[in-house]
Amino acid sequence: MAEIVSISRALPPFCHAQETILGFMQESFGLDETEKRKLRFLYRQSGINQRHSVIRDYGVEAGGWEFIPRDKKTAFPSIEERMAIFDREALPLSVKAIEQCIDGFITKDKITHLITVSCTGMSAPGLDLAIMEAMGLSPDIFRTSVNFMGCYAAIHGLKLAKMICDSNPEANVVMVATELCTLHFQKEFNADNASSSLLFADGSSAVLVSNTLKSDRSLSLDHFYSEVAFRGKNDMSWSLNSQGFLMTLSSYVPHLIEEDIAGLVENALKNKLTKEKVTHWCLHPGGRKIIDTIQNRLGLTDEDVAYSRKVLAEYGNMSSPTILFVLREIMDDISDQAANVLGIAFGPGLTMETFIATRK
């Protein structure tokens, strides 16, 4: 049985209070007083206290901006400049996450499979090869990458890890999800860019999945289910242009989730569990309104969504690692008790991915 043995967290060095980021955004966007008040209201309703970034600029008190030009006539960083920072910063963050994840369980030479997950930077040779070289992993290690899937991508990575373990009893699979969302801040003030500036952050998480290893926090990966609501394909998307990666996140997304979440949960649990037997809800905190919508539609308690709200408050939305941060909170909390965990995340498409993880 494929077991989640360990989950780690790794964060970049700059931690910015949400209120400080608000000041940066108001100045950088060049907002008038009316627009400033509107943005201030949104930030204070976000449910986010702080976010981490590889960029120091978002902390206005830190001094002069290095990444974002103060002169409004100066061009914003190009995609080449943004990817250069990704290449420089994503590797040490990923290595840190992996080393923390395997510590006390296996040595790096016992890693048999490596899965990298990201939608905020890519190149060839990519992050997977960079990790192999930096950590001195075997040159013939099995590796694969999950790219550009967005916030639900880590669940897809877990699905691959289970498939590997199901076919290879001796596998020790390491998946690392690393996102540097804040590299893609855009100059123009519009609804999509305002939403992105409000929510997204940087972070990394690694997971060790194995048939043979266990910990006092292990969870068995039991089942996966996914659906796509194509009518929402234009409401959540992620595209490239010369100035970076562009996020579309419309205000209609919570409505789509509200319409579909009950049916998704019913299908995900079919012939596996009843809703009443779910002991822990591992919900991707895509934003405060999304958590509110799911809680209200499914009739969940404040305790049910507390893990997701905690991660949102302390880290913001880091895209793919975020669901793993929530799962780590759950694993830290359940100790030796039996558990039925239902994980749910959303991404471009509109794609809805789920997993069931259990402890008997």
At 237, is the pLDDT very low, low, confident or very high (cuts 50, 70, 90)?
A: low
Q: What is the 3-state secondary structure (H, E, C) of 89-130?
A: HHHHHHHHHHHHHHCCCCCHHHCCEEEEEECCCCCCCCHHHH
Q: Is the pLDDT of residue 48 over 60?
A: yes
What is the reported pLDDT for 216? 86
**pLDDT tens digits for 275-329?**
999 999 999 999 999 999 999 999 999 999 999 999 999 999 999 999 999 999 9
Q: Which two tokens stand for residue 160?
A: 């691959």
List the one residue out of 99, 142, 113, 119 whose CA is nearest residue 6.
99
- How many residues make up the chain in this entry? 360
Q: Of all helices (H) and strands (E), which one includes residue 199?
A: helix 191-199
Mean pLDDT of the chain, nearest integer: 91
What's the predicted TM-score (pTM) here?
Answer: 0.95
Q: Are 106 and 78 in contact (CB under 8 A)?
A: no
What is the reported pLDDT for 124? 86
Q: Is the dihedral of CA 307, 311, 312, 314 positive or negative?
A: positive
At 66, is the pLDDT very low, low, confident or very high (cuts 50, 70, 90)?
A: confident
**pLDDT tens digits for 145-197?**
999 898 999 999 999 999 999 999 999 999 999 999 999 988 888 888 888 88
Q: Which of 52-56, 89-93, 122-126 has the lowest mean pLDDT?
A: 122-126
What is the reported pLDDT for 200? 94
CATH tag for 219-359 (out of 2.40.30.110, 3.90.1150.10, 3.40.47.10, 3.10.50.40): 3.40.47.10
DSSP character for 56?
S
Q: What share of the chain is helix, strand, coil (3-state, %, to 5)?
A: 40, 25, 35
Interstrand relation of 339-347 and 280-283 (parallel, antiparallel or unpaired)? parallel
What is the reported pLDDT for 249? 63
Partnered with residue 127 across adjacent β-strands are none
